[in-house]
Homo-oligomer: A and B are copies of this chain.
Amino acid sequence: MENDFEELRKRMISTAKEKIKLNYESEEYALIQAINAYNEAVKSQNLFYERLTEWYGLYFPEINVSSPKALASLVLILNSDREIGREAIESAIGDASKAESIEKKLKDSIGRRMGDEERNVVIEYAKLLLEISDSIDKLELYISAASQRLLPNTAYLTDDKIAAELLSKAGSMERLATFPASTVQLLGAEKALFKHIKFGSKPPKYGVIFKLPEVTNARKDIKGRIARLYATKITMALKADYYTKNFIAEKLKVDIDNGIKRITSSPVKEKPTRQYDSNRQGHGHGRKFDGKKRFNRRR
């Protein structure tokens, strides 16, 4: 009897373990981790880049480069034991005319002379910035590959990172595939959405899909409509990615292009001038000014 019980317990545990294992069988969870790691790494990179710009500015305030990698490489070259020639500078920042001006300015920089200890720690910090840039590139490669494996239709319509971010916001492929277009449109705009619901600020028009160049660069009065168009088609793409696994993205892309043409050719809407609507106050609908009112002191 005792033994039977023990046997049963063991089998139940191993069944539970198998179930958990099955749940994490899909690569989607790794993709979610990767896109989050990517976003965090990009933020850190920008922070370190700003810091190195400020720090190295003590020694060479005339420096002026436009990317973390270029700055880090330049700092490493300027502080290496080798002779500093224009070619070396150019190879670091990839810009011939800038390399020339940097070489000139090097000769009578007004920056502070560097102690050995300072030099070592700055070099170390520049190396860290390079490392983080490299890691970001590698994360990006993985995200691209995994997005195209898991979300081929969605990645085709948007891009690899946007597809991964939609997945990350939803939490799983299954949940994402069941979302209606309106939810997909606002994924990533949760903060603005709840601000709208709670305080009556303007409702958001787009979340993650704002990063699409077609939405970002659209005329202001049609941005929302284009975002909606995309959301509708992305919703279809997501269902294809999760359920049927057919590749329908080319057809959807044609639909989107036609839709954008139609929307863009519509006449420019004038923004209505704001009028004070006296009917609004006192009605349940007039939530728009609620938020402000609540915090105003009566006099």
Q: Which residues of A contact B (CB under 8 A)?
A: 17, 20-21, 24-25, 27, 29-30, 33-34, 36-37, 40-41, 44, 47-48, 51, 54-55, 58, 108, 110-112, 115, 117-118, 120-121, 124-125, 127-128, 131-132, 135, 138-139, 141-142, 145-146, 294-295, 297-298
| Cβ contact within 8 Å between A37 and B51 | yes
Q: Knowing A24-B112, A145-B117, A298-B298, say if A58 contacts B40 (CB, 8 Å).
A: no
| Cβ contact within 8 Å between A33 and B47 | no
| Cβ contact within 8 Å between B117 and A21 | no
Provide the residues of chain B in CB contact with A111, threshold 8 Å: 21, 24
Chain A binding surface, main DSSP class: helix
Additional 13 contacts, C-beta under 8 A, given A25-B112, A44-B44: A17-B108, A33-B54, A33-B58, A34-B55, A37-B48, A37-B51, A37-B55, A41-B48, A117-B146, A121-B141, A125-B135, A128-B131, A131-B131
Report the minimum CB–CB distance from A9 to chain B (whole Å).
16
| Cβ contact within 8 Å between A138 and B117 | no
Report the minimum CB–CB distance from A55 to chain B (whole Å).
4
| Cβ contact within 8 Å between B30 and A40 | no
What's the Cα separation between A125 and B141 when bound, in Å? 13
Total copies of this chain within the assembly: 2
What's the Cα separation between A290 and B146 when bound, in Å? 55
What's the Cα separation between A298 and B25 when bound, in Å? 57
Closest to A141 in B: B121
What's the Cα separation between A295 and B135 when bound, in Å? 47
Provide the residues of chain B in CB contact with A141, threshold 8 Å: 121
Report the minimum CB–CB distance from A186 to chain B (whole Å).
25
What's the Cα separation between A27 and B115 when bound, in Å? 9
What's the Cα separation between A89 and B246 when bound, in Å? 45
Closest to A140 in B: B121
What's the Cα separation between A58 and B33 when bound, in Å? 9
Closest 5 CB pairs of A and B: A33-B55, A44-B44, A121-B142, A24-B112, A128-B135
